[in-house]
Structures are given as C-alpha cells and as structure tokens.
Structure 1
Amino acid sequence: MQPPKLTDEQQRYLDHLRVQRRLAERTLTLYTEALERLNALAAKADVPLLRLTAHQARRFLAQLHQGDLAPRTLALILSAWRGWYRWLGHNGLIAANPIVDLRPPKVGRPLPKALAVDDAVRLADYAEPNADPVGEALDRCLVELLYGGGVRVSELVGLDLRYFPTSLGWIEPDTQEAHVLGKGSKRRAVPLGGPALKALQDWLAVRGQWAQDGETALLVNKRGRRITAHQVRARLKERALHAGMPTHVHPHMLRHSFASHLLQSSGDLRGVQELLGHANISTTQVYTRLDFQHLAKVYDAAHPRAKKK
C-alpha cells in the first residue's frame, strides 16, 4: 500500500504555516511538494520519518542533487524539511532536528548585465524628437552620470548643486568631480569626463525652469523637487525604449556597463574598485568574468580554431 502523500503531522504543520505564519499559497504549494519528495525518499529507503537521522537526510539531499535540481530548488526543499522538523521538535515529537546542519550547494553568483559599448553610447547620445528641452537635458544628464561616472542611483539622487552642510553628495565643477556618499556611509570622488560635464552644463542652463526656489538638489522633477530613484528608473526605461535598446535598461545596468567597459579598456582592477567604491575587491572581480565573456565572444567569432563546422 502506498504511503499517504502527506502525514497528519505534515498537514498540521502546513495548516500552521497557513494560519499562524500566513504564508502565501505559492509558498505553501512549494513546501507541500518538498514534503512529498521527503516522503517518497523515506518510503523508498524504508526509513520512518520521525526517526530520520542526519546521515540519512544528507543521503536524501545527495540523491536530489544527482537529479540535476537547481541549487535554489534544493535550498527551498531543505528549508521546508528543516521547518517541519523544527515544528516537530517544538511539539515534542522528535528529540533532534536531522536537517539543522544540512546546507544546499552554493548558488553561483549571476553575472551583472551590461550594455555593449555601442548601445551605451547610443543611449547617451539619443535625442528624442520634439521632446521637452528641460526633460531631454535631465535625461541626458542622468544617463551621463550613471554611465560616465558609474554612480549608484541612490548616489545620483543624493547629489546637490554644491556643498551644503547637509549634503549627501555634491558637484565640484572646478575639479571636474562628483562627491558621493556610497554604501557604508563611505565618501568617494568620481571623476567626470567631457560628455558628463557638457550634459551637466546643459542641464544647469535649464534647471531653473523646473526647480523651486531654495531647492538644493542637482536633479529635480517637474514639481521642482529632488528627483526620486523611482522617477530615474522610469525616465531611463522610457528613454531606452525610444532609443531602441535591445534589452530592459535600469540604472544599475549603466553602472555595470561603466565598470565592464572601463575594465576592458584598462585592465586595472584596483582602479575600477576605487571608482565603484567597492569595499572588497572580490566584488569588483565579477567584472573580470564579464570581460572574459566578451573576449570569448571575440574568439568564437574570429579565431579559425573556434569556428564551428
């Protein structure tokens, strides 16, 4: 006789999650499937669920791993198992949690998405026909600061026209720098190239048409107040669509593009780390993998030994 898909204890646990923890139905469905996997493995090994040992649980995990399940899927399964056995322990039904020390395989860190150099330049140079000149100047300025300076969107919206005692960041036209407040409240100076300085000048020439009196923010919205990160994302998304970008563009993609293109040109990992404001160089090293992907594509396209039959 086939064992039930869920035991009474498992059903009570899921009811607890639904009523007391108020988990979403999708999460409950995934937890149900995870417990059903556990039941099938235990039945096949003829192991009583309430007497499962850590060694047996580790063997179950290895079997699932051999089934080519993704690390994130395995992590969710283990979370469901661990939670159920923890609940059993709280209710005095088991003496020890056999899942407590099990860990899923590490999830590979996804590569950041960056635009091709030509696409990034096209986005920065794009001019919307019949656009509001103030809005057009704002869009060009924010793109140049994101791509030309590699700043985070939070750093961008925190910029003031100049230094004030309350400033999170500010512009120094004389030294051609932007001073920003990054993660961990660490300040850094970001050099501004010619296109970024030109975009700043063009924006400052029309900023007064939108900005309210006394507003210190460098970038303002139509209401005359400091632009928000959400508004930056929306404006950038619209500009990218009009410019015919091949992918969805968001502010952090321009920061990734800044880092990747700079590393491709210079190979100076430490310098890129400083410009990005990364506390740990391992965070910056992910761009070397992105750069290798670029080189691999060049190799595949050009080297005679790489050409496919």
Structure 2
Amino acid sequence: MRTHKQSKPIRLKAHRRPKGNMIALIGAIAAGLLIAILLFALSYTRLLGGSSEQKTAIEAAALAAAKDLGRIVIKDDHFGWVSLSDYAPTGPLTIAPDGYYQPVSSLNTILATIRLDMIMEKHVAAAVSNPASMQMWKDLAQADYDAASATRAKLVSVMQASMLPGGSPEAKDIQGNLVNPYQSAENAYKENGIRQSGGSAYVNGSLKLTLGCLQGGSETTVKAVTPETKAELNGKALQNGKYLSYTNYSYNGKDFVFTAAGSQIKLIDSKNFKQTLGIATEVPSIVMAEADQKFFDNGNSAKPARIVHTMACAQPACVQDPKPAPGM
C-alpha cells in the first residue's frame, strides 16, 4: 500500500502596501511646510506691524515738535512780541507796564503788512502827485523792512536752539512756560510704543530734530493784496487768495518770503524737505524728526537683530487772530 507524505502548508509572506506610507510622508511634509509658512507669516506680520507702529511714533514726534515750534514767542524792540503764529493779547508773558496784555504778531503777518504799506505808498503817492510828505511813509516802511530782517534772524536763532536736547532758555510761550520741542517729540515717540515686533526698544539719544524748508511751498494764512491786479505779484501764484510759503514775492527790489505755517499742524512728505532753498530771507519752519529703533528676535534683548532708522516731517500752524476792525 502506498502512503503519501503529508504536505506542509505554504505560508505566504505579507507585504505592506506602499500607498499608506506615502500618504503619511506627504502629510508630514505638508504639515511641516504649513508650520513654516505660518511662522513666516507671523514674523512678516510682526515686521509690518512694527514698521507701521514705528512710522506712527516718528510722525507723532514730528507733530509734537511742530506744535511746540508754533508756541515760541520772542520779545522784539521794534514789533513787540513775535512768533510763527499770531496770538490774541491773553498771555501773562506779554503783559505791558500798564497792566494790559499785548498781542503777538506772526512773522508772516509782519511781512505782509510791510509789503502792503510799500504798495499803498506807491499808489497814494501817484494819486497825490508824490508830495514831499509821502517820503516819511516810504521811510517808515523801509525802517520796518530793515527791522524785520533782524527780528527774523533772532526768531530763527531761538527756534534752532530749541531743536537741541537741552532746549533754549529763550524759548517760551505766551504763558511764560519754557517750550522744549525736543523733549515733547521724544515723549511722543516713546508714548507710541512699538508692540507688534515681538520686542524692540528706542535707541536712547537717537532722536534728532532738524529745521528746514518745504520745496514747492504751501498755503499760508496770510491774504494777499486785493484786487490781485494791485498785488504786484509779478507772475507768482497764490492759493485761495493767500501767499505761498517759500515763494519770493519781491517788490521794488526787496525780497518777501513767507514761512511755512498753515491753518493747522500737518505732516509733510519728507521728500520735499530741504534744509535750505538758497533764499537769503527764508525762515526754516518745517521740522524733520529722525530716530532709531532696535528690534530683537525671540525677545533676546542682549543682541538686537536689526536697527531701523525712520523719519517724518511736520509743518507748524499759525493761529489766526482776526482784528475787530482794519488797522487794529
């Protein structure tokens, strides 16, 4: 009888399908890329946020300095109290020996008045056949013009000194308070803290204030002579019937350049800032504020990742003090 050997069962080896492994690998790579993108987006958002906040801070500094600049008043032997702005007779600093407060005249108002006097002298002299008595009118207008040059130089000197960290003891407002544009600007910068950058700090002492002019000029608060045909503009433009700053409205061989001081304090494009325009009688009133901010990565304040320099410019305002009647 034949016998058959019992055959051993054949075991098949199991093989993992590669599909599941690939899905896991792709998922891990995608997750890694997503995390990297999110981290980059967060870092970029912080960078943009920090840059925006730093821009806001330096703009606040420029506006604060410009505001203070318009508050400075000086005593002048010829014109009384003078400033970039007109002020009503309300300030204790301006009190006269008789106990009454004195008004403050802006430099622009003084120049516009002198120019008007010279134009009127010409037309009145022509109407009355130029009598000898008109010479006194002409001489007085010339004396005012010469005095305005000295007043302009004094005001600019005080304003320039006030831009420095220590300020100027001569820079006071109508209340008699010291005016320190630098300190006001630095305080404004620090109060507008930069929070979105993940860690930053103002570089102490980096704030710098510079006085300059505005290329192209801007509308002042001083109205030109009317009608315009009598204003002797020599082709120079007006804006809303008012003189433009840093435009030479020369008359009878004399320069008349009005400074930048509008109806309100405002920011100016720094591209139009010039320390000087080369005009002998210009008065720099545009404030450029500059400062440095150091930024840290991951809160590591021991080593700044970068230092960013920023700037902004602002123009002061001229408060209008309308008189109750012409000539008052």
User: Normalising by structure 2, what TM-score?
Assistant: 0.21
The structure whose residues are more often strand, as a share, is: 2
Of structures 1 and 2, the one scoring higher in RCO (CA 8 A, sep 6+) is: 2
User: Normalising by structure 1, what TM-score?
Assistant: 0.22
The structure whose residues are more often helix, as a share, is: 1
